[in-house]
Amino acid sequence: MADRFGSPLPQPLFDRLTIVGVGLIGSSLLRAARQRNLAARLVAVDASEAVCARVREIGIADEVTSDACEGVRGADLVILCTPVAAIEIVARDVAQHLAPGSILSDVGSVKGAVVAGVQPHLPATVHFIPAHPVAGTEYSGPDSGFSTLFVDRWCILTPPEGTDAKAVEKLQTFWSEVGSNVEIMTPAHHDLVLAITSHVPHLIAYNIVGTAADLEEVTQSEVIKFSAGGFRDFTRIAASDPTMWRDIFLNNRDAVLEMLGRFNEDLAALQRMIRWGDGQGLFDLFTRTRAIRRSIIAQGQETPAPDFGRRSTPSSDQ
Amino acid sequence: MADRFGSPLPQPLFDRLTIVGVGLIGSSLLRAARQRNLAARLVAVDASEAVCARVREIGIADEVTSDACEGVRGADLVILCTPVAAIEIVARDVAQHLAPGSILSDVGSVKGAVVAGVQPHLPATVHFIPAHPVAGTEYSGPDSGFSTLFVDRWCILTPPEGTDAKAVEKLQTFWSEVGSNVEIMTPAHHDLVLAITSHVPHLIAYNIVGTAADLEEVTQSEVIKFSAGGFRDFTRIAASDPTMWRDIFLNNRDAVLEMLGRFNEDLAALQRMIRWGDGQGLFDLFTRTRAIRRSIIAQGQETPAPDFGRRSTPSSDQ
């Protein structure tokens, strides 16, 4: 990790970086940019005065304002880090204040709707390059960020056709410098990939936690006590920011419903195996799924520590 | 934790403890029993000669044998730690070799089927007290165990009506000594509680991993790369032992299908909210589910560390 997240650059990549929306992702970007000297000046914008006050307190930006138009002025890189539904609104509001030749990007978990919502508002002199760092935790707000959040994670860029290659390259460098691997794809493919690797997993996690909370035969106290049997794993992603996730489902509806359809078909088949006692069918699936985790660990996207390393399991312990 | 898992007892609780099936749970029990001096003599039984050889190598038992009848002879506590389907078979095989007055227990994740399968074979002189420690990791085999696995976890006992109170108390003490909280309930209630806190969560985890593996529009390599969006969490429990989990679903069929029915109803409602753009409904559910995780953390069943503490997120980091 030290190699991937080294010493500060001798020269900043950007003159003025403006982050709009200082939550987990925005505040992590400010911290990483400061640490790596990615911009000469860091500007933080948040609609909430309370968040602005907190950002001033923790001192992760050089300038802090609740006025997005003022914040983006003169910036050569603006990254919108608000929930998805707010991205279009902010982009429309600041469009005429963006510097000619600047890059406008975002970190939204949905890309098709963002492109459709933002692009029509922008002057032709601005390079619009949507992005999505696939990284996060279940916490939110400016205090939850940390500079190494993006290390060894993937960041997906979805530049519209004809985007200036140099601008794309510069944004790619920015994400590499915060520790990420970068991949380029179309917005539509992004939305399909994320529907299965992120959106549907969140949906079924929210759903099972809701189901468990509503039971009458099993008390909430029992659900909590015996959650170490597997349930508690799901509560982590079901503790993610409600606004952010509401927006994701509303803005990636088609891909989510498509992937959810596949999930439901497969679950119906599994349900039938249980009903009819098809032990071999169950065993075959449960063996196949093991291999996928091994690949995820081998590719550095997951820890091999038992139980996510939740607590120490000393290997010398007998 | 030091308080819950203190120094060895001055006097062992049992003379001879036999563990049948030396996987994650069995080997953890042997390690914990040795460390806390819970039995004067530890006997390990496993049907696999390879496992027996490994258990001899790592030295976590005083005697190791693949012959269960020989292993249980003279033991005052026998705990069956095999997959659920094997529990009945082993119990039937060893029944006539169990010492009069001894306790026979197990650690199966299903209790109704175990009671029905085991009880008819046992002589009246043996105290049968089914148990289920709600603890584990995604790893299996004798090397995966560790002595603190049961610390701060719950162990559920389901003694049949009329079971000798002293025997129940003694087994309760045994589980307290390995660090667990003990709760007593009926087998039927156990199976319902675990269906929602463990079995259905495992089923949907196995299912989504299977769904993702079978897609054509999204490659396996993409699923792996972008798994940090949420998917990788599910791969942990979908990497659990296939035999163990096949047996659980076949032996807790009714409760699993019942709870799966509730899950499906709720998921259909959620699907409809997405289709019709009911943002308020989504937001309300996503807010409710946050509270449950807070309770699980407050009751010591989960870490508050972001991302399960998968990697360090220094709070001083700016």
Closest CB to B207 among A137, A214, A267: A267
Check whether A3 has a pLDDT greater than 90. Answer: no
pLDDT of residue A131: 98
pLDDT of residue B7: 86
ipTM value for the complex? 0.92
Chain B hits for A42, CB-CB cut-off 8 Å, are none
- Mean pLDDT in residue range B238-261: 97
pLDDT of residue A318: 35
Check whether B170 has a pLDDT greater than 70. Answer: yes
Q: How many CB atoms lie within 10 A of CB B93?
A: 15
Least CA distance to A139: which residue of chain B? B306
SS3 B40: strand
Distance CA A187, CA A48 (A): 30
- Mean pLDDT in residue range B88-105: 98
Q: How many CB atoms lie within 10 A of CB B221?
A: 10
One-letter-per-residue 3-state SS of chain A: CCCCCCCCCCCCCEEEEEEECCCHHHHHHHHHHHHHCCEEEEEEECCCHHHHHHHHHHCCCCEEECCHHHHHCCCCEEEECCCHHHHHHHHHHHHHHCCCCCEEEECCCCCHHHHHHHHHHCCCCCEECCEEECCCCCCCCHHHCCCCCCCCCEEEECCCCCCCHHHHHHHHHHHHHCCCEEEECCHHHHHHHHHHHHHHHHHHHHHHHHHHHHCCCCCHHHHHHCHHHCHHHHHHHCCCCHHHHHHHHHHCHHHHHHHHHHHHHHHHHHHHHHHCCCHHHHHHHHHHHHHHHHHHHHCCCCCCCHHHHCCCCCCCCC
Contact A184, A212 (CB under 8 A): no
Residue A7: band (very low, low, confident or very high) from pLDDT cuts 50, 70, 90: confident
Residue A4: band (very low, low, confident or very high) from pLDDT cuts 50, 70, 90: low
The tens digit of pLDDT for each residue in A26-38 reads 999 999 999 999 9
Contact A205 B230 (CB under 8 A): yes
Interface test with chain A among B223, B307, B315, by most A beta carbons within 10 Å: B307
pLDDT of residue B303: 93
Residue B142: band (very low, low, confident or very high) from pLDDT cuts 50, 70, 90: very high
Report the range of poorest mean pLDDT among B4-8, B94-98, B282-286.
B4-8
Task: Give B73 to chain A, closest Cα distance, Å.
Answer: 25
pLDDT of residue B313: 37
Least CA distance to A60: which residue of chain B? B318
Closest CB to A245 among B139, B246, B286: B286
- Mean pLDDT in residue range A14-39: 98
Please give the mean pLDDT across all residues of chain A. Answer: 94
Closest CB to B197 among A134, A227, A260: A227
Instruction: Write the DSSP symbol of residue B41.
Output: E
Contact A231 B197 (CB under 8 A): yes
Q: Give one DSSP letter per residue of B118-140, joined into a string.
A: HGGGS-TTSEE--EEE----S--
| Structural domains of chain B, with CATH | 14-185 (3.40.50.720), 190-304 (1.10.3660.10)
The tens digit of pLDDT for each residue in A214-228 reads 999 999 999 999 999
The tens digit of pLDDT for each residue in B291-302 reads 999 999 999 999
Task: Give A261 to chain B, closest Cα distance, Å.
Answer: 10
Check whether A9 has a pLDDT greater than 90. Answer: yes
Going by C-alpha positions, the residue among B4, B8, B30, B10 that lies closest to residue B19 is B30
Check whether A184 has a pLDDT greater than 80. Answer: yes
The tens digit of pLDDT for each residue in B20-46 reads 999 999 999 999 999 999 999 999 999
The tens digit of pLDDT for each residue in A99-134 reads 999 999 999 999 999 999 999 999 999 999 999 999
Q: How many CA atoms lie within 13 A of A201 on its CB side?
A: 30
| Tokens matching residue B122 | 């046992």
pLDDT of residue A6: 75
Element (H, E) at A105: strand A103-106
pLDDT of residue B4: 54
pLDDT of residue B233: 95
Burial of residue A166 (CB within 10 Å: 0-12, 13-18, 19+) is: exposed
Backbone angles phi, psi at B102, to 5 degrees: -80, 165
Task: Give A61 to chain B, closest Cα distance, Å.
Answer: 10
Least CA distance to A291: which residue of chain B? B239
Closest CB to A262 among B147, B211, B299: B211
Check whether A313 has a pLDDT greater than 50. Answer: no
The tens digit of pLDDT for each residue in A255-296 reads 999 999 999 999 999 999 999 999 999 999 999 999 999 999
Closest CB to A210 among B206, B212, B288: B288
Distance CA B137, CA B155 (A): 15
Contact A138 B307 (CB under 8 A): yes
Instruction: Write the DSSP symbol of residue A198.
Output: I
